[in-house]
Every structure is written in structure tokens, then in C-alpha cells.
Chain A
Amino acid sequence: MALPTDSTQPRLAPGCRWGANGEDKVLLFPEGALRLQGTGQKIVELCDGQRTFAEIVAELQAHYNSNAGEIRDDVAGFLEQLKQKRIVDY
């Protein structure tokens, strides 16, 4: 399974979209739904097919003001998981 590279442009996979369940924003996909909060939600919101992985990391780093290397590894791992579930494509 490939991790995203700097130029990767992650996007929501086909059949995956945001929906609302009350106050919470949920990610809907064919066989289920994922309730994302905080950083997880923020990451997926940035996966618009336009921003590159490097840009997403930079934005998150600016937002959370933390170590770039750590954020990079965390985001890469998270996106890889979502790709495996076919929620995000890149």
C-alpha cells in the first residue's frame, strides 16, 4: 500500500460524500458512515482533489503549529487507512 507523496492530490473516493447527522458532520460511503471530529475531519476536508499532500501538511502545520515531520507521518498514515477503506483516493 503506497503512502501519499508530496505531489499526491487526495480526494474523496467515488460514492463518498459529507452528510450531516444533527450537529455532527459525517462522512457517508456505500457501506457505512464515519463520524469524524477535530483533526480527522480537518484532514478529510482538505482532500479536495486540488491541494497536494505537501500543501495539506503545510496547512495543518500552520493550523496546529506543531512539528512538520510528525504531522506528515500522521497524515500519511491516516490517508493510507482511508484509501484502504476506499473513502479517499489518490
Chain B
Amino acid sequence: MLPNPLALIAEVTHRCPLHCVYCSNPLQMTAANLELTTQDWVRVFHEAAAMKLLHLHLTGGEPLARADIRELIAEAHTVGLYTNLITSGIGLTEARLVPLIEAGLDHIQLSFQDSREDSANWIAGTRAHAHKLELAQIIRGNKIAFTVNLVVHRQNLDHLEEMIALIETLNPDRVEIAHTQYYGWALENRASLMPTREQLENSVQVIDAARRRLEGRIRVDSVTPDYYARYPKACMGGWGQRLMLIDPAGKALPCHAAGVIPNLQFDNVRERSLQWIWQESSAFQHFRGESWMQEPCRSCDRRTQDFGGCRCQAFLLTGDAAATDPVCSLAPTHHFVEATLLQMNTERLPISKPVSISSQQQAAHENASQSAASWLYRINPA
């Protein structure tokens, strides 16, 4: 019998005050007027609890962009879900945070784009860094579990040590150092974001040293860049095995990016129960198990560990969603990834680092950096 998922990822809105160039949201985002209502989400949380799911990850976009976020947290907590708020912190003050904690919020994850303000704001496409620093102090002053998330890539990896030192002063319980994964906006910006091999190797050492130094104080977790790995990641713990994602309009997806795969039929929580979707929805069944696998996955010993890697990445890089994830060194299409890495490691692509600038120069600078780095900022949905 198919076990129920462990966690629900609720993308409650695609609206976001940040425009991060590595955002994993789809390029086609859900408009605000198509978002699920409070009642819809509450029903989904009740169904999730009845299915004995454990965690609810509230994400977006920026989940705080929803006026009913306190009510959503309170309802999820009441039915017994462990609630995690994944946020940029924009829109959060102590006056708004305290009621969320009182409503039962278990954990908050705050992202930082860099240690240096000008660079952080450049990556986020807005001035958010100073507010995040202030907010981190406020979060730490309250009784809630606190993780800082650092998304790292070519533009900020050279001062990873400085980033970790900054995070250390914020004293979170945990820091997650996540190499950018190339979906959505990040894939569009891959040429500006993919680290060099040298940067990657250096980052591994920096992270190891930080892990040792902070042991017992701050837990250090890291997500490696799969383009450089020998074998693919066990994406989502297997398609339709552990996680379920509901997008802002109620569409149920096996992962963040699954919408890119053509000809998958996604069911909607407006029309179907969560339990029905998990068991019956064709999108969830499509790559569940092993029958869809091709060689070399089909006869590979690692197929029960990494499940052939990521279906979305297979589609995005090879055009075939059932292909072996091309990041796998055994994949017949691995040369696509090798060619990309060769290019990223030999061509010195122009990197337009922001310099310290006055506000008067800001506009001119933004124009200049756009032309130099061919950056594509995440836009907001209508």
C-alpha cells in the first residue's frame, strides 16, 4: 500500500517583494486573483492532518503577502501540523511576528542573499538586506526555532566565509547553505549563477570548517550543486513518495518545478481531496516507482537511492522527462552538463558586481549592471 506523504509544501502565493535572480518559482506565476481562499487552505490542512502528514511548509512567493497568514498558521497548528514559515522577512515586524508565534508557528526560515548590503540588494532586486538584519535580531529575541538560509552561487561564493561570519552574529539554531538549483528563474540566469569548480571546492572547505567551528551552537546543513556531482540528487525523496506541493491556485504538484513537464495532468484541491490526489492523480502516478525508467536507470543499482534523479531537470536539459537526469555521470546525455560546466569554467563571463554607490547613482548603476550581466529579475504575478 502507498504510504501517505510526510509533508505538505503550501505555496500560498506567488506575490513577493523580492525579485531574486535564483528564484525557483515557475516563470508563469499564479495571479493574485486566482489564489486559494482562506477556507480552501484550511480544508487542505485538515485533510493533510487526517492523512497524518507531519510538516507544513508555508512558502511562496512571500507567504507574508497573504493577509490571512496568521489564521492559516493557527489552523494548521490546531490540527497538529508542524508549521514552518519560509520567508524573506519583508512585511514582518515584531508586532506581526509575535501573533504568528502565539498562533503556533514552530519554525521560521529567513533567507539572506549576501553578507554585503549592496550585493545582497542587487541579487534580490530590491533593498531588503538591512531590514533582514534587523528582523533577525527580533526573531532571535523571541522563542522560536530559527534557521537562516543562504543561497550561494557564482556572485557571492567568493565571500562565503564572510557570509557565515555574519550569520554567526545572528545566532540562529541552524544555517542552511544551499547552492542554487537550476529551475525557474535560476535556469534563466544560469550563466551568471553557476559557480566555477574552484569556487565550489573552496566552498566545500569553508562549509566543513564552519561545521566544525560551530558544532553544538549552530547546525550547518548544506545543499550541493548537482551539476558537479557524480550522481544525481534523490529529488523530493522520489516522485510522489514523500512530498506534495500545492500551488497558489490549488494545483497539486509532486515538486516545485513539475509544471514545466508537458502533458502531465495536475489535479486541483478545489475539485479533489488531498487523499484522492495522492493516490489517483495521474501526475503523481506518472513517475512513481520504476516502470517509467529507461536505461541506464532501469538496471542501475542506484535507482533505489536516487530514483533516476530529477524529472524536471531531465526534461529541461534533454527534452525528455523520462531520461536519466543528465547530471548523472552515467547518463547518455551527461555531455550536456559537461559542456555547460566547461563553458562556465573556461569563459570568464562578465560579472557585474555592484560597487558602493549613492542612491543618486542607483538608477544609472542598475542600468549598467543589467547590460553587463544579462541578469533576469524575477517578476511579480499580476
Contacts and interface: CB of A to CB of B under 8 A. Distances in A.
Interface of A: 1-2, 13-17, 19-22, 26, 28-31, 33, 83-86
B272 interface: no
Contact of A2 (B107, B174, B216): B216
A13 to B, nearest CB: 7
Contacts, number: 53
Given A17-B82, A28-B82, A28-B106, A84 B55 contact: no
Contact of B173 (A2, A26, A28, A86): A86
Nearest to A33: B54
A86 B174 contact: yes
B156 interface: no
A84 B216 CA distance: 6
Nearest to A30: B107
A15 B54 contact: no
Closest 3 CB pairs of A and B: A15-B145, A14-B145, A30-B107
Given A19-B54, A22-B52, A83-B216, A14 B173 contact: yes
Given A14-B144, A15-B144, A33-B54, 11 more contacts: A2-B216, A17-B82, A28-B55, A28-B82, A30-B106, A30-B107, A30-B145, A30-B174, A33-B82, A83-B216, A84-B215
Contacts of B174: 30-31, 86
Nearest to A90: B216
Interface residues of B, number: 21
Interface string B154-186: 000000000000000000011000000000000
B215 A33 contact: no
A16 B219 contact: no
A84 B54 CA distance: 22
Given A15-B173, A86-B219, A28 B54 contact: yes
Contacts of B80: 19-20
Nearest to B217: A86
A26 B84 CA distance: 17
A29 B216 CA distance: 16
A8 B107 CA distance: 26
B216 A15 contact: no
